[in-house]
Structure 1
């Protein structure tokens, strides 16, 4: 099993109220670079920030890393528009960062990125691929692509309260800037990404399409952002078997909408509950409170955990959290080093 992890940025994440609460704009562009370092090395190496919320919720990269230390899997990191360097080894497919979706063109090289990613996916020798993502602001761009395709699916959030109306207003402005109406890109998904998407989307879609072409089993590891990718693949006429693996946190927030969307896009759905409610630890407590929910391949990684091994993953997550400076139970986070009132060092887009 290989986990492929495209990482990129979009200026959409800098829109006021779109990014994770408290995340400073000058730090957020480091988040994907730090995420992939955590998955590869267990902690940030070159990145000057550790993506941890003011309440002590670590990036989902910490969970993916914990699973990797228990289960073991290969990782390939794809530079899908990073703006900051990373110590994680990367495959550069030549794409650049994304523009603000409220500009006329959000991803100028969407077609070329998809083609290069397709060739990369087709070249991989693995029988199974699990494809994740890290891109702050990615659920807003996902909503943009779904709307441009005429799909009714909603999107999740890394915040306990999903600012969905704010996202819809941004998407409305984005469509207007691109002279589009909802549904105008039906059957032309790369045009949707070019207009209102982000650079991680054509990278994930291209890798998935190339791998599926060669008979590789593909699982999209994530929540509603990966539903947008599934929609892109279906609108591109790709009808191969496709799976989506996400967390119980996304499923609880989305309710029947998640299963309905997977049925519409003909995707098998796997939902994994990591049992974080069984521990009194600030990180797991914040996930149970609705923070973060998904990202950096978290749901897909959790789906790889064998029966009876989830307790070991929770143990390992506590170890990873200590490396990230998060210690203590949910009631003593402040005295154990988590600043519950101070600024967020890094953040994922909602």
Structure 2
């Protein structure tokens, strides 16, 4: 099994009120690069950031890494618009970072990015792949694309309280800036991504389309951000079987309405509960409280875990947390400081989650 992670950044995440209070812009830009390193090496290497909230909630990359230490899978990371360097090897598809969706164009070369990613997806030698993402601000761009497509789907959040009204206000402004009305891009999904989306969407959609063209089974590993990509593919005329695999944390979020949306988009839905409830480790408690929920392929890789191995995943998750400076009772700021964690880090420093708001 191959897991493909598309990692990128967008200036949308810097919009005031979209990210959780106190987030530092430099942390936002570094988070996807750190996510990649955690998934590849178990901890940040080049990146000066440890994506951990002050409450002790780590990026979903920690869960995905824990699964990787239990379930063997191949990993391919695609640079889908990284703004900061990473110590992990990546596939370079010449994807620039995304702009602010309130600008007339958020992804100027969305069609070209899609085609390059499609060629890459078609070249994969695998029978099946899981495609995940990490991009700050991803649920806001997801809402933008869904609205431009005329899809009535909702989006989740990495925060316990979803700032949905803020996202809707940003999307309304973004559509006005692009001279678009809701549903205006019903027949032009790449136009929707170009106007109010992000480069990770164009990349993942292209990879999925190319892989499906070549006969590879595709699972989109993620939550409502992957719903937006699935919607874009369906509006582009892609009729191949498509699956979405997510976590119970997203599935239980009433903002997401995942089951009805997947039915409408003709996508199989797999929901996995990692069994964090009842565990005393602070990181598991924060996930159960509604932080992070999903991202960095978390739901996709959890779907690969046999029932008898989930306890081992939880144990490995605690070990990964310890490497990130999170003990059972909370964050050790001193040990985490060497990787850039500190009082300025916040819930949206887990921006790979579904998603950074």
- What is the TM-score of this pair, normalised by structure 1? 0.96
User: 1:112, 1:8 → 2: CA distance?
Assistant: 16
TM-superposed deviation, 1:333: 5.3
Cα distance between partner residues in 1 of 2:199 and 2:275: 33
For structure 2, the 5+ residue unaligned runs are none
On the 8 A contact 1:22/1:54 being kept in 2, the answer is no
Deviation at 1:20, TM superposition (A): 3.7
1:6 maps to which residue?
Answer: 6
Per the TM alignment, residue 305 of structure 1 is displaced from its structure 2 partner at its CA by 0.4
Corresponding residue for 1:155? 155
Tell me the equivalent position of 1:254. 254
Q: Does residue 1:102 correspond to 2:102, yes or no?
A: yes
Q: Secondary structure at the match of 2:259?
A: helix
Spell out, residue by residue over 1:54-83, the C-alpha distance to the aligned partner (whole angstroms, 9 max, x if none). Answer: 101000000000000001111100000000
Distance 1:93 1:341 in 2: 33
SS in 1 for 2:134: coil
1:167-206 equivalent positions in 2, closer than 5 A? 167-206=167-206
Correspondence 1:1-350 to 2 at 5 A: 1-254=1-254, 257-329=257-329, 342-344=343-345, 346-348=349-351, 349-350=356-357
Determine helix, strand or coil for the equivalent of 2:308: coil
> Partners in 2 of 1:229 and 1:127 — Cα distance?
21
Change (3 A) 1:341 1:125: closer
**C-alpha distance 209-152 of structure 1, shift in aligned 2 (>3 A):** same
Q: Which segments of structure 1 move beyond 3 Å, counting only runs of 4 or more? A: 332-341
Q: CA separation in 2, counterparts of 1:52 and 1:281?
A: 14
Q: Deviations over 1:82-130 (max 9, x none)?
A: 0000011000101100000000000001000000000000000000010
Post-superposition offset of 1:335: 9.5
Distance in 2, Cα, partners of 1:221 & 1:258: 13
- In structure 1, list runs of 5 or more residues that go unmatched: none
Cα distance, 1:341 vs. partner? Answer: 9.2
Displacement, 1:256?
A: 7.7
Contact 2:2 2:128 in 1 (8 A): yes
CA distance, structure 2, for counterparts of residue 338 and residue 122 of structure 1:
40
Q: SS of 1:39's equivalent?
A: helix
Residue 129 of structure 2 aligns to a residue whose secondary structure is strand
Q: Is the 8 A contact 1:327 1:336 kept in 2?
A: no
- CA deviation after TM superposition for structure 1 residue 170, in Å: 0.1
In 2, the alpha carbon distance for the partners of 1:282 and 1:102 equals 37
Cα distance in structure 2, aligned partners of 1:200 and 1:279: 34
Q: Deviations over 1:283-321 (max 9, x none)?
A: 101000000000000001111101211110000000000
**In structure 1, distance between residues paired with 2:271 and 2:61:** 18
8 A Cα contact 1:19 1:347, kept in partner? no
- Cα distance in 2 for partners of 1:100, 1:205 equals 20
**Contact 2:209/2:238, CA 8 A, preserved across alignment:** yes
Question: Is the 1:108–1:194 Cα contact (8 Å) retained in structure 2?
Answer: yes
SS at 2:244 equivalent: strand
Residues in 2 aligned to 1:189 and 1:18: alpha-carbon distance in whole angstroms: 24
> 1:129-175, CA deviations, whole angstroms, 9 ceiling, x for partnerless residues?
10000000000000000000000000000000000000000000000
Deviation at 1:22, TM superposition (A): 3.1
What secondary structure does 2:252 align onto? Answer: helix
Q: How many Å apart are 1:18 and its aligned residue?
A: 1.1
TM-fit CA distance, 1:257: 1.5
Secondary structure at 1:254 match in 2: coil
Instruction: Return closer, same or farther for 1:334/1:75 CA change in 2, 3 Å cut-off.
Output: closer
Distance in 2 separating the partners of 1:334 and 1:38: 18
SS of the residue corresponding to residue 253 of structure 1 reads coil
TM score, norm. by length of structure 2: 0.94
Residue deviations 1:218-241 (CA, integer Å, cap 9, x gap): 000000000000000000000000
